[in-house]
């Protein structure tokens, strides 16, 4: 069965520390992968996406994610977090042959001053 | 450009009552989605439209939920009668034709509480 798994429901981290939010997927077909961010009381915003080509993708605010086919992972990283990064982060996938996004359960990142 | 517009932002109703949510997608976006996001869970697709036709409604509880996209632009999602477990955020989203490779843009959501 096709699925997206985010094992960490909450990740607290101190300001300026590095962070990794984990995402794994399960699929026997090709996949497009996405990270969305949801700030409090706001809608989902696309952070970055992997469609093809370079396995390392970056966002404009310092986040990056690497597609690892052998590990079926797409972990999100940032070398130094800011207070403003506090939000809910969702990993999502479009599986080949499917019409829509499958979401993980989300990881709440809390940056501690 | 204007984003995906949704209304109302917040709604509280009693169980067995009805409610309707409205969505206006980004101009030119042929594909429109309604997602349900229950607290603590990721969004789940309820229905997907391509222009004014339904592409996927396999997860829509059709005994109580209905949706339409007349003229292939705005869309309305209705719940009648509502149950307690329908308390959730209802997210409308849109994209250019199809999902593959196209960014899906989300509205701010309509927060429903059923008491």
Give the pLDDT confidence of B68-105 residue by residue, as tens digits. Answer: 998 889 999 999 999 999 999 999 999 987 666 678 89
Please judge whether A94 and B99 are an interchain contact, meaning their C-beta atoms are less than 8 angstroms apart: yes
Nearest C-alpha of chain B: how many angstroms from A104?
5
Nearest C-alpha of chain B: how many angstroms from A14?
23
B107 vs A contacts (CB less than 8 Å): 43
Cα distance between residue B115 and residue B99, in whole Å: 35
Of A42, A94, A106, the CB nearest to B42: A106
CB atoms within 10 A of CB B57: 17
Query: A2 burial class (0-12, 13-18, 19+ CB within 10 angstroms)?
Result: middle
Structure tokens at A25: 């997927």
Q: What is the pLDDT of residues A20-73, one digit of tens each?
A: 999 999 988 888 999 999 998 788 999 999 988 888 998 988 999 999 999 999
pLDDT value of residue B1: 63
Chain A residue with Cα closest to B109: A43
Report the percentage of chain A scoring pLDDT > 90: 70
CB B28 within 8 A of CB B72: no
Tell me the residues of B at the A interface, defined by beta carbons under 8 Å apart.
4, 33, 40-45, 48, 55-56, 91, 93, 98-101, 103-109
Cα distance between residue B27 and residue B2, in whole Å: 8
Of A4, A100, A104, the CB nearest to B99: A100
Kindly state the average pLDDT of the residues B13-24: 97
């009668």: which residue's tokens?
B81
CB B4 within 8 A of CB A43: yes
Q: What is the pLDDT of residues B25-45, one digit of tens each?
A: 999 999 999 999 998 888 999
DSSP line for B74-105: -EEEEESS--GGG-EEEEEEEESSSSTTPPPE
A/B interface, count of CB pairs below 8 Å: 54
pLDDT at A1 over 80: no
**Chain centroid to CA A6: how far?**
9
The C-alpha angle A111, A68, B38, rounded to 5 degrees, equals 50
pLDDT value of residue B54: 93
Nearest C-alpha of chain B: how many angstroms from A3?
12
SS (H, E, C) A75-94: EEEECCCCHHHCEEEEEEEE
B88 vs A contacts (CB less than 8 Å): none
* Interface list for A 36-55 with B (CB within 8 A): 36, 41-46, 49, 51
């Amino acid at each position: 069965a096709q699925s997206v798994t985010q094992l960490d429901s909450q990740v607290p981290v101190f300001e300026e520390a590095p962070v990794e939010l984990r995402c794994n997927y399960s699929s026997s077909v090709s996949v497009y992968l996405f990270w969305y961010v949801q700030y409090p009381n706001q809608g989902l915003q696309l952070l970055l996406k992997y469609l093809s080509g370079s396995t390392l993708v970056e966002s404009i605010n310092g986040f990056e994610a690497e597609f690892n086919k052998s590990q079926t992972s797409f972990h999100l990283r940032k070398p130094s977090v800011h207070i403003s990064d506090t939000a809910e982060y969702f990993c999502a996938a479009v599986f080949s042959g499917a019409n829509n996004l499958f979401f993980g359960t989300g990881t709440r990142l809390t940056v501690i001053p | 450009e204007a984003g995906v517009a949704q209304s109302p932002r917040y709604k509280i109703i009693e169980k067995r009552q009805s409610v309707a949510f409205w969505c206006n997608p980004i101009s030119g976006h042929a594909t429109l989605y309604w997602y349900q996001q229950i607290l603590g869970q990721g969004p789940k697709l309820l229905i997907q439209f391509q222009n004014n036709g339904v592409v996927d409604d396999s997860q829509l509880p059709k005994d109580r939920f209905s949706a339409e996209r007349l003229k292939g632009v705005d869309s309305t999602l209705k719940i009648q009668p509502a149950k307690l477990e329908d308390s959730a955020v209802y997210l409308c989203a849109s994209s250019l034709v199809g999902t593959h490779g196209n960014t899906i843009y989300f509205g701010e959501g309509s927060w429903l509480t059923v008491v």
